[in-house]
Amino acid sequence: MRLVARCLRGIEWICAAELAAAGAHVEAVEHRLVECRAAPGPALLGAGTVDDLFLLGLRLTGAGRQRTALAEVRAQVERLEAGPLLAAVEAVRPLPADAPFEVVASFLGRRNYSRFEIERAAGEGLERALGRRFVPGPLGADEHPPLSWRVHLYDEGGFLGLRLAAAPLHRRPYKLDSLAGTLHPPLARAAAALGGVAPGDRVLDPFCGAGTMLLEAGGEQPAARLVGADIAAGAVRSAGANAERAGVRAALLVADAGRLPLADGAAGVVLTNPPWSRRLAPAGSLAGGLEPFWREAARVTAGRVVVVLEELEDQAEPIAAAGLEPVVLQRVAVSGAWTTLGLLAPAGRRRAELARLAALGLRPMSGAAPA
């Protein structure tokens, strides 16, 4: 079947590689979208870099900026043959015969109509096509019906899709403990993918917060040994609670990332999301800047350091001084703000690292890697 995966802007190439590794045949990679053909099943539902996954119902045409697009959407949706889509959903989760549905719409570019008008037009069309009840939005967190359709319009067209899982894939059941600045799990999974965590690797997150990076590394490589540290005891408790819910073992300690109580080369990979100056100030030995952390990161691993950090580009000097060099610097948009996903390696290893990524089907988008 044809599917459309939505992901964060900037990690489309990592998401495409993950879907391909899960057996999908990737057909197109676009702004926040990866289109593929695959048998919809557990392998795809385990794709950790995907925000949301839809069975492709229709490609919509004639849906430009003018309000006539609404009637076009409604008319095209009315003609949907939904049987195979509903059967594919039922193959992965129970679906009551009379389950109502919602429609969530989004679009790129300026339009003379709103997202809610698209939802209503598509919802009315789908009511006719499905003979099921449409629940118009906006809906509260606990009010979402079991069937969720997505309309996304861009340029003069778009698509209609049906969510395969019961909830968006980015929502992780383990993540009930959270804190300010906590990471979006699919971005943490993308970091783990870049890190190339191997079985038995010790993965260290010295700013572990609620543990997202570690738990996603565990999802990517269940045989990894996870070690997390944070200067805040409350954060370490949150990470512990999330790890327990995820059924993942992680060694967690309260420590300052500028003075880690770990031996040289103790970690195979460092995956982390340091605090950044504008919203979350680094504490302890890092109150004056992240320099001690870069030195510690280079000391405790002979391998790779993958970081998610706003304005990572501004850290070029201390990163170089620590003996590390950027292999990939990928700008990523999260909730309307830009951050950078960076893969750093010991100086001189850039080519080898790019070859390692290529062997995994990970080819940075143009502009992702520094010159």
Torsion angle of C-alpha atoms 86, 32, 166, 169, degrees rounded to 10:
140
Q: Kindly tell me which residue out of 46, 222, 247, 284 binds ligand SAM, with binding defined by CB under 6 A.
A: 284
Adjacency order of strands within the sheet including 250-254: 250-254, 225-230, 202-205, 267-272, 301-309, 337-346, 324-334
Binding map of ligand SAM across residues 196-235, x = CB under 6 A, - = no contact: ----------xx-xx-xx----------------xxx--x
Q: Kindly tell me which residue out of 258, 303, 346, 364 binds ligand SAM, with binding defined by CB under 6 A.
A: 258
Told to check if 182 binds ligand SAM by CB under 6 A, we report: yes
Tell the smallest beta-carbon distance from residue 5 to ligand SAM (Å): 22
Told to check if 236 binds ligand SAM by CB under 6 A, we report: no
Question: Measuring CA to CA, which residue among 350, 330, 349 is closest to residue 340?
Answer: 330
d(CA 94, CA 247): 25
Told to check if 187 binds ligand SAM by CB under 6 A, we report: no
Report residue 182 as tokens.
């906590």
d(CA 340, CA 183): 12
Tell the smallest beta-carbon distance from residue 188 to ligand SAM (Å): 6
Tell the smallest beta-carbon distance from residue 231 to ligand SAM (Å): 4
Q: Kindly tell me which residue out of 56, 179, 253, 320 binds ligand SAM, with binding defined by CB under 6 A.
A: 179
H-type alpha helices, the chain: 12-21, 42-45, 68-78, 83-92, 115-130, 185-195, 212-220, 233-246, 291-300, 316-321, 350-359
Contact 311, 275 (CB under 8 A): no
Tell the smallest beta-carbon distance from residue 216 to ligand SAM (Å): 9
Which residue number, 112 or 178, has a Cβ lying nearer to ligand SAM? 178
Binding map of ligand SAM across residues 285-324, x = CB under 6 A, - = no contact: xx--------------------------------------
The torsion angles phi and psi of 177, rounded to 5 degrees, stand at: -90, 130
Q: Kindly tell me which residue out of 95, 241, 283, 320 binds ligand SAM, with binding defined by CB under 6 A.
A: 283
Report residue 36 as tokens.
């593929």
**Which residue ranges make up the site for ligand SAM (CB under 6 A)?**
179, 181-183, 206-207, 209-210, 212-213, 230-232, 235, 256-258, 273, 275, 280, 282-286
